[in-house]
Structure 1
Amino acid sequence: MHPLLKFQNEALLEQALTHRSYVREHPRDAVDNERLEFLGDALLTFLSGDYLYRRFPEIKEDEMTRRRAALVDETQLAEFALELGIDQLIRLGKGMIQDGGSQNKNLLSSTFEAVVGALYLDGDRDVERIRPLIEDLFEQVPEEVMATRSTLDSKNRLQEWTHANVGHTPPKYATEKVGGSDHNPEFASQVYVSGKMIGRGKGRSKKEAEKQAAEDALSNLLRKGLLQRNTKDADK
């Protein structure tokens, strides 16, 4: 078993692996992992930023921001989850199992975040106890993969534009579930810069909705002449 899945408090690991669809079917004996997911997301943002700051002392802030996004995006975190065997351990409701939930990238990435949050709590809230384990995963991501993925992230591009043209406060996303079922939800997101809504998006996950909102914002900025067209996008 990977060290990231070795817990002193097994109940924390069990919770981290429990999707809300399982709780709906076992409401008396299970707690979902969404609070742990929130904590793990914050930890991964910090740890990835610190890791890149030390590993690449020569790169600028904008590139570090892009690479951080690449390290903790949905695709990469889902790959980490598969490497740990989380797809074999996650607790899902019957409907989610039938829909192939254990291979769903959004679900896998969210569960990985929950495991990180749980491991932090299991280690007496000492980030140094989990740093080596997380950085071991980061080290396995080739630099060229980080660089390639980083150029494709719309949320990152919007943050760069905001930093260069508005200020250091990043864009704010207001995202909520607006429809669909537990197995196939739909989310809507609005992105704000300096309190002004500049883009909207929808998706089957919070991350996808926010990505679409960022892309809509970039399109709006481009149409208004406030953003130069990305040459890579123009070549497609």
Structure 2
Amino acid sequence: MNTLTDWVREKGYQPQDLPLYYEACTHSSYANEHNNGVPDNERLEFIGDSVLQIWSADTLYHMKPVMHEGKMTTIRAQTVCEQTLARLNQQLGWYNFLRLGVGEERSGGRTRPSILADQFEACIGAIYLDLGYGAAKAVLDEYMKPLISASKPEDVTDYKTQLQEYVQTDNRKTIQYRLLEETGPSNAPTFRMGVFLDDICMGIGESSTKKRAEQKAAKEAIRKLAC
């Protein structure tokens, strides 16, 4: 297989809008290096994220035994998090179809979780737009649904939701996440995020993505609040 359309055909579907699948696999670094109107996958990522949200909500709602809203929210956040989407991308082999800029390729972009997760969402968005929700749902049912009941490793634990639930009994308290520092080159930055409870910094986390840094900050805050 050389393209995403080859993968889709192997699943028994007949893709119609072929440029859509190339767009899903085009990173902004590639588009920026080719000044010929090549679109990147960010718009399709937006669509794919929405498909994942409705699919996960519908799947969790119909699971037995019935779960309360808080548990469904936590499991959904764990299931559609960056690390999980990146792993699924690698499992499916979609990362092989990525079109990256020269610099991004050299710096390891093809294995960077944030890029893989974004591409996964974009590919789901392309499948949805070209073949409909049924085809996108079939892919997610086959590859993502088994993860919902699987045990979650630490790196996909949703500490942000846990922290929110920990303090939500006191409506006077507010939680904010703030960027404290950004270091490193633009193609491989490191973000230092802080979580503030009523303007008091309760935790700090660092990672290559803001989302992961926020999770680390929330984990530290939970540890302090539990003491």
Contact in 2 for aligned 1:5/1:13 (Cα 8 Å): no
Q: Does 1:205 align with 2:205?
A: no
Matched, 1:137 2:143: yes
| CA offset digits 1:86-142 (Å, max 9, x no partner) | 12100111122222221222211111011112222224xx53442222122123327
Q: Residue 26 of structure 2 aligns to a residue in which SS?
A: coil
The one-letter amino acid of 1:62's match is: G
Contact residue 66 and residue 151 of structure 1 kept, 8 A: no
Instruction: Work out the number of aligned pairs and report it.
Output: 216
Decide whether aligned partners of structure 1 residues 83 and 218 sit closer, same or farther in structure 2, where only a CA change above 3 A counts: same
Pairing 1:96-175 to 2, within 5 Å after superposition:
96-123=104-131, 126-141=132-147, 143-146=149-152, 152-166=157-171
SS of the residue corresponding to residue 88 of structure 2 reads helix
Residue 46 of structure 1 deviates from its aligned partner by: 2.4
Structure 2 spans left out of the alignment, 5+ residues: 1-6
Q: Over residues 18-50 of structure 1, what are the superposed CA-to-partner deviations in whole Å (9 max), with x where a residue is unaligned?
A: 111112211324211122223322321221122
Amino acid in structure 1 at the alignment position of 2:46: F
CA contact (8 A) 1:20 1:33 kept: yes
Identity of aligned residues (%): 32
Q: Which moved more, 1:170-179 or 1:202-211?
A: 170-179
Tell me the CA shift for residue 154 of structure 1.
Answer: 1.2
**TM superposition score normalised by structure 2:** 0.76
Shift in alpha-carbon separation, 1:216–1:141, aligned structure 2, 3 A:
closer
Q: 1:179 to 1:13 in 2, by over 3 A?
A: farther
Question: What are the residue-to-residue correspondences of 1:158-197 with 2, within 5 Å?
Answer: 158-166=163-171, 178-187=182-191, 189=193
One-letter amino acid of the counterpart of residue 139, structure 2: L
Question: Is the contact made by 2:84 and 2:156 (CA closer than 8 Å) also made in structure 1?
Answer: no
Q: What is aligned with 1:10? A: 18
- Distance in 2 separating the partners of 1:216 and 1:4: 47
Judged with a 3 Å threshold, the aligned counterparts in structure 2 of structure 1 residues 131 and 142 are, in CA distance, closer, same or farther, namely closer
3-state SS in 2 of match to 1:102: helix
Structure 1 unpaired stretches of 5+: 230-236
More displaced, 196-205 or 45-54? 196-205
Whole-Å Cα distance in 2 between the matches of residues 34 and 73 of structure 1?
Answer: 17
One-letter amino acid of the counterpart of residue 55, structure 1: M
Q: What's the secondary structure of 2:190's corresponding residue? A: strand
Alignment match, 2:81: 73
CA apart distance, 1:73: 1.6
Determine the structure 2 residue equivalent to 1:40: 48
Distance 1:56 1:171, change over 3 A: farther
CA apart distance, 1:72: 1.0
The RMSD of aligned alpha carbons is 3.3
Query: Which piece of structure 1 moves more, 179-188 or 24-33?
Result: 179-188
Deviations 1:147-184 (A, max 9, x none): x55983212212323544439xx967567994533421
Q: Which residue of 2 aligns with 1:24?
A: 32
